């Protein structure tokens, strides 16, 4: 007859494999590694966000720069030899930077009039630099009264300096226009004189020095500016005596409507 042996609890416990857990040192090492991975991930994410923010800021500044240069280009390319009268009735040059209050004053064409308002398509434009900001302003009329309001818009900020130069008929650059020899003439035609080209240099805090050279399509020669090739006064290039005045006709006449209701 078979005999049965009763297995005690101690014997069963001895036969089972011993269950082992993590030691305190292993737990600390795991926590340290997890923390290092978290810190690295946060730094990478933070660096990515900062880079994105810097790129967006640079992109906005570049967009403002391009927009400002587009305004300047349209104005320079549509210059016309049209002097104006200020609020006191005095005549002002078609293009000048000799006004101590402003950087540049000019008359341009191509001021669009989609609503057919009773006004000219010519526009008197003024550029000025105030506290590092470049403004473009204009009058709603050419020959204005004292109460005529000047309308302004900020084109560009972070501007350190704006330099202008003007190319005369002898291909020499000058810092001021009109030239000194144009003053004191009996004829009013010198008010219409335009340079052959205008060089505009902008020193920006982010982009450094940016410059453009614009040839004036409406280059206007008068008896007070020597005609290229050595001719002077009352004879133009074709040799006929027509008072020495020659205006190169403008091309086009309309530019694109500006953004933000500026025009």
Domain boundaries, the chain: 58-250
Model confidence at 200, in pLDDT bands (50, 70, 90)? very high
Tally the C-alpha atoms within 13 A of residue 247's C-alpha that lie toward its C-beta. 12
Cβ pair 157, 64 in contact under 8 A: yes
Q: Which one, of 197, 192, 172, lies nearest residue 182 by Cα?
A: 192
Q: What is the three-class DSSP state of 150?
A: coil
Quickly tell me which residue has 């190319």 as its tokens: 167
Q: Which class for 182: exposed (0-12), middle (13-18), buried (19 or more C-beta within 10 A)?
A: middle
Model confidence at 217, in pLDDT bands (50, 70, 90)? confident
- Cα separation, 108 vs 54, in Å, equals 38
Q: Which class for 124: exposed (0-12), middle (13-18), buried (19 or more C-beta within 10 A)?
A: buried
Q: What is the three-class DSSP state of 1?
A: coil
- The predicted pLDDT at position 256 comes to 40
The number of residues in the chain equals 263
Model confidence at 227, in pLDDT bands (50, 70, 90)? very low
pLDDT above 50 (res 246)? no
Cβ pair 154, 143 in contact under 8 A: no
- Cα separation, 109 vs 131, in Å, equals 29
**What is the torsional sign of CA 67, 72, 78, 80?**
positive
Cis peptide bond prior to 20, omega within 30° of 0: no
- The predicted pLDDT at position 105 comes to 95
Q: What is the three-class DSSP state of 156?
A: strand
What confidence tens digit (pLDDT) does each residue in 17-33 have? 565 677 888 888 888 88
- Listed range (59-68, 139-148, 239-248) with the worst mean pLDDT: 239-248
- The predicted pLDDT at position 128 comes to 95
- The predicted pLDDT at position 154 comes to 94
What does pLDDT average to over the chain?
78
- The predicted pLDDT at position 138 comes to 94
Quickly tell me which residue has 């501007």 as its tokens: 159
Q: What is the three-class DSSP state of 87?
A: coil
Model confidence at 160, in pLDDT bands (50, 70, 90)? very high
Helix (H) or strand (E) holding 133: strand 133-139
pLDDT above 60 (res 193)? yes
- The predicted pLDDT at position 58 comes to 86
Q: Does the 58-250 domain belong in CATH 3.10.610.10? A: yes
pLDDT (average), residues 59-85 = 92
Strands 151-156 and 159-167: unpaired
């Amino acid at each position: 007859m078979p005999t049965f042996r009763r297995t005690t609890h101690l014997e069963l416990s001895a036969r089972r494999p011993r269950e082992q857990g993590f030691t305190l040192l292993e737990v600390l090492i795991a926590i340290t590694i997890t923390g290092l991975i978290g810190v690295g991930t946060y730094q990478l994410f933070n660096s990515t966000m900062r880079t994105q923010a810097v790129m967006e800021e640079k992109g906005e500044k570049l967009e403002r720069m391009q927009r400002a240069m587009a305004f300047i280009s349209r104005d320079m390319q549509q210059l016309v030899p049209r002097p104006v009268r200020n609020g006191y009735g005095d005549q002002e040059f078609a293009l000048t930077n000799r006004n101590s209050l402003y950087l540049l004053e000019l008359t341009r064409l191509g001021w669009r009039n989609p609503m057919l308002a009773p006004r000219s398509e010519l526009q008197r434009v003024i550029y000025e630099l105030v506290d590092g900001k470049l403004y473009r302003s204009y009058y709603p009329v050419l020959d204005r009264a004292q109460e005529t309001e000047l309308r302004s818009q900020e084109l560009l900020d972070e501007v350190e300096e704006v330099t202008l130069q003007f190319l005369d008929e002898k291909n020499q650059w000058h810092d001021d226009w009109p030239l000194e020899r144009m003053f004191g003439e009996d004829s009013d035609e010198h008010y219409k004189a335009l340079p052959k080209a205008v060089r505009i240099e902008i020193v920006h805090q982010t982009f450094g020095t940016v410059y453009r050279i614009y040839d004036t399509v409406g280059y206007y020669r008068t008896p007070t500016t020597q005609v290229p090739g050595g001719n002077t006064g009352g004879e133009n290039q074709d040799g006929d005596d027509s008072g020495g005045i020659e205006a190169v006709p403008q091309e086009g006449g309309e530019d694109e409507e500006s953004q933000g209701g500026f025009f």
